[in-house]
């Protein structure tokens, strides 16, 4: 049991577990964002609940941040180790003959997502933490109304920000197109359900990022 993270399979397993966690988080984040398209009030209520309920704030949020940091650091550590495993590169390497672009470039799609998360934190998370825990305003109110929907709409008025978000979600889709089924393979799940799971993974990898893009464009063009 000790030192499982020192073994190649242990690292794969840890990468997959953090990936599962992040994929579930992404689904709930998407579900809440989608509410903003249908009802500003419901979106406000759910956002206020997520932003103030102690289990979410003090248990799930730290776990999520740890999961994100772990996934990124481990990804970069593995990349460095893997580069060391081939000290001389091929003069000619036909990677597309045997594998997908997505599978060979997880580090680049991952780096693009990391850059997006930094932007996203600056946009939403840091102001939120500032308002709640530094200023100490836990009411979620602005001029007598919940501020969440208004903040969301305001952020998506800048076309540059919307463009950056759209590009980031394309990279997220590319990352998930390989990552979803890869995580199952890493935990040892490769059986009669794998074919169906791969199909489901592809649908997830396209529908969720596309949905996020739709939400960003919806608020950009509707307000």
Partner 1 sequence: MNLTLKIWRQKDSKAKGQMVDYKVTDISEHMSFLEMMDVLNEQLVNSGEEPVAFDHDCREGICGMCSMHINGEAHGPDRGITTCQLHMRMFKDGDTITIEPWRATAFPVIKDLVVDRTAFERIQQAGGYISVNTSGNTQDANSIPISKHAADEAMDAATCIGCGACVASCKNSSAMLFVGAKVSQYALLPQGQVEAADRVRNMVEQMDKEGFGNCTNTGACEVECPKGISLENIARMNREYLAATFKG
Map tokens 């307000």 to a residue.
223
Q: Does 55 bind partner 1 (CB under 8 A)?
A: no
Any idea how long the chain is?
223
Q: Please count the CA atoms within 13 angstroms of the CA of 119 that sit on its side-chain side.
A: 17
Dihedral pair phi/psi, residue 143, rounded to 5°: 50, 40
Residue 9 or 207 with smaller CB distance to partner 1 = 9
Residue 91 or 160 with smaller CB distance to partner 1 = 91
Angle between helices 40-52 and 148-155 (to 10 degrees): 110
Q: Binding residue for partner 1 (CB under 8 A) from 88, 134, 135, 160?
A: 88
Q: Does 5 bind partner 1 (CB under 8 A)?
A: no
The dihedral sign for the CA sequence 15, 20, 26, 28: negative
Q: Does 95 bind partner 1 (CB under 8 A)?
A: yes
Residue 38 or 84 with smaller CB distance to partner 1 = 84
From residue 87, how far is each of 12, 82, 90, 98, 104 by CA, in Å? 22, 10, 10, 21, 18
Q: Which range in 22-30, 79-87, 108-116, 142-150 contacts partner 1 by CB under 8 A?
A: 79-87
H/E stretch holding 34 reads: helix 8-38
Q: Does 196 bind partner 1 (CB under 8 A)?
A: no
From residue 156, how far is each of 113, 143, 146 by CA, in Å? 18, 21, 18
Q: Does 12 bind partner 1 (CB under 8 A)?
A: yes
Question: CB–CB of 168/123 below 8 Å?
Answer: no
Q: Binding residue for partner 1 (CB under 8 A) from 37, 78, 114, 197?
A: 78
Residue 13 or 30 with smaller CB distance to partner 1 = 13
Q: Does 36 bind partner 1 (CB under 8 A)?
A: no
Q: Does 60 bind partner 1 (CB under 8 A)?
A: no
Rounded to whole angstroms, the Cα distance separating 183 from 138 reads 38
Residue 87 or 143 with smaller CB distance to partner 1 = 87
Residue 74 or 167 with smaller CB distance to partner 1 = 74
For residue 88, the minimal CB distance to partner 1 (Å) is 6
Q: Does 89 bind partner 1 (CB under 8 A)?
A: yes
- Interface residues with partner 1 (CB under 8 A) are 1, 4, 6-13, 78, 81-82, 84-95, 97-100, 103-104, 106, 178, 181-182, 185-191
């Amino acid at each position: 049991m000790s030192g499982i993270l020192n073994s190649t399979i242990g690292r794969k397993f840890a990468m997959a577990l953090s990936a599962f966690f992040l994929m579930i988080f992404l689904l709930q984040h998407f579900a809440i964002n989608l509410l903003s398209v249908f009802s500003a009030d419901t979106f406000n209520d759910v956002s206020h609940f997520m932003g103030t309920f102690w289990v979410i704030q003090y248990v799930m949020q730290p776990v999520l941040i740890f999961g994100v940091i772990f996934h990124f650091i481990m990804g970069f550590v593995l990349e460095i180790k893997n580069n060391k495993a081939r000290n001389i590169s091929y003069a000619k390497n036909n990677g597309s003959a045997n594998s997908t672009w997505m599978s060979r470039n997880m580090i680049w799609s991952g780096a693009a997502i990391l850059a997006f998360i930094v932007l996203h934190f600056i946009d939403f998370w840091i102001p939120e933490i500032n308002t709640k825990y530094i200023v100490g305003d836990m009411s979620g109110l602005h001029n007598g109304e919940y501020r969440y929907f208004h903040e969301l709409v305001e952020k998506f008025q800048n076309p540059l920000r919307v463009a950056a978000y759209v590009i980031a979600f394309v990279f997220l889709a590319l990352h998930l197109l390989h990552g979803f089924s890869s995580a199952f393979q890493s935990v040892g799940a490769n059986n009669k359900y794998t074919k169906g799971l791969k199909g489901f993974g592809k649908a997830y990898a396209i529908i969720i990022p596309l949905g996020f893009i739709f939400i960003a464009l919806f608020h950009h063009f509707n307000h």
